[in-house]
Amino acid sequence: MSQIQQARKFNAWGKGIEPEYGPQAPAPTAERGSAVGIRIEGLDKSFGSVPVLRQLDLEVPAGQFLAIVGKSGCGKSTLLRLLTGLDEPTGGRITFTGPGGEAVTPNARIVFQEPRLLPWERVAGNVAVGLGPGQGGRPAKEKSLAALREVQLDEKAGDWPAQLSGGQRQRVALARALVSRPDFLALDEPLGALDALTRITMQGLVERVWREQGFTALFVTHDVGEAVALADRVIVLDEGHIVLDILVQHERPRLRGAEDLARIERQLLDAIFRR
């Protein structure tokens, strides 16, 4: 059984659920807490006879916040799963690069739309799962509490997931992804199920932890306004191809509804709907 297959089969506790971290391959590895670059060359992914990604080429500089938008079924989530090792490409190559351009194995994590918390573990225990196998005791507890502080939820460390609101559960999922200090974080529509006000709060939280930790971020969303508010760069996927690649060169924090940002949103919508 390959490392990728093993990573899919077992989580940190051997519970047989899909993990939220990619497989740990042999050295060299990226320095923990740093950012990695991403080079995608000729990437193909098909499910049976149905192609999802087709000859995709993409370069992502280390530390960039890249948002991916597009219609349902265009390949957004598939790309994230390939980058985090949860799926294998049909063809092409994905390379993560270190500061000198050398190939490295990233410490990659993913946050899904659903928090996927373990109901039999308290909040701190759920966060500790993100440390991976073999991590426990006081060091794991201290790291979990530190990650919860980063998402402003350390006072809930001893609670059960069922006691939390939807927004709080998603903050726990984010803390679980952050606890190992990833150098690459994939976010697959992590705010899509939240109400409007909670979503705005979470957007600010995601932006803050990205700026503080400096990891490379790929953020999938259906909301072009959210993409423009958060990202350094936005790409539009359509039928497995990149049809628009645009930089968002505006100071942070960004003023929602600003005319210059609205123009970028219109460009993105025109590309999505081919207007």
User: 169-191, pLDDT tens digit by residue?
Assistant: 999 999 999 999 999 999 999 99
Q: Which residues pair with 95 in a beta bridge?
A: 39
Q: Would the pLDDT of 14 be above 50?
A: no
pLDDT category of residue 135 using cuts at 50, 70 and 90: confident
Q: Would the pLDDT of 28 be above 80?
A: no
Q: Give a yes or no: residue 86 inside a domain.
A: yes
Question: What is the predicted pLDDT for the residue at 133?
Answer: 76
Q: Would the pLDDT of 75 be above 90?
A: yes
In the predicted model, what is the mean pLDDT of residues 12-39? Answer: 51
Q: What percent of the chain stands above pLDDT 70?
A: 87
Rounded to an integer, what distance in angstroms lies between the CA atom of residue 208 and that of residue 213?
9
Question: What is the predicted pLDDT for the residue at 71?
Answer: 94
Q: What percent of the chain stands above pLDDT 90?
A: 76
Q: Give a yes or no: residue 252 inside a domain.
A: yes
Provide the token pair at 274. Answer: 């081919």
Q: Give a yes or no: residue 194 inside a domain.
A: yes
In the predicted model, what is the mean pLDDT of residues 233-243? Answer: 96
Residue whose entry in the numeric block shows the structure tokens 């909670």: 198
> Per the structure, how many domains does the chain have?
1
Question: What is the predicted pLDDT for the residue at 6?
Answer: 34
Q: Give a yes or no: residue 60 inside a domain.
A: yes
Q: Give a yes or no: residue 153 inside a domain.
A: no
Residue 72 or 23, more confident = 72
Q: Which of 101, 66, 76 is nearest to 184 (CA)?
A: 66
Q: Give a yes or no: residue 243 inside a domain.
A: yes
Q: Would the pLDDT of 16 be above 50?
A: no
Measured between alpha carbons, how far is residue 227 from residues 70, 111, 155, 246, 247 in Å?
A: 11, 16, 30, 11, 11
Question: What is the predicted pLDDT for the residue at 193?
Answer: 85
The sign of the CA dihedral 130, 134, 135, 136 is positive
Q: Which residues pair with 186 in a beta bridge?
A: 110, 218
Strand-pair category, 91-97 with 37-47 = antiparallel
In the predicted model, what is the mean pLDDT of residues 235-242? Answer: 95
Q: Give a yes or no: residue 147 inside a domain.
A: no
Put residue 5 in one of left, alpha, beta given phi > 0 → left and psi -120 to 50 → alpha. Answer: alpha
Q: Give a yes or no: residue 57 inside a domain.
A: yes
CATH number, residue 15: 3.40.50.300
Measured between alpha carbons, how far is residue 17 from residues 21, 134, 191 in Å?
A: 12, 17, 22
Measured between alpha carbons, how far is residue 234 from residues 145, 186, 218, 225, 229 in Å?
A: 33, 14, 10, 11, 10
Q: Report the predicted TM-score, pTM, of the whole model to 2 decimal places.
A: 0.86
Boundaries of domain holding 75:
3-118+167-273
Question: What is the predicted pLDDT for the residue at 206?
Answer: 95
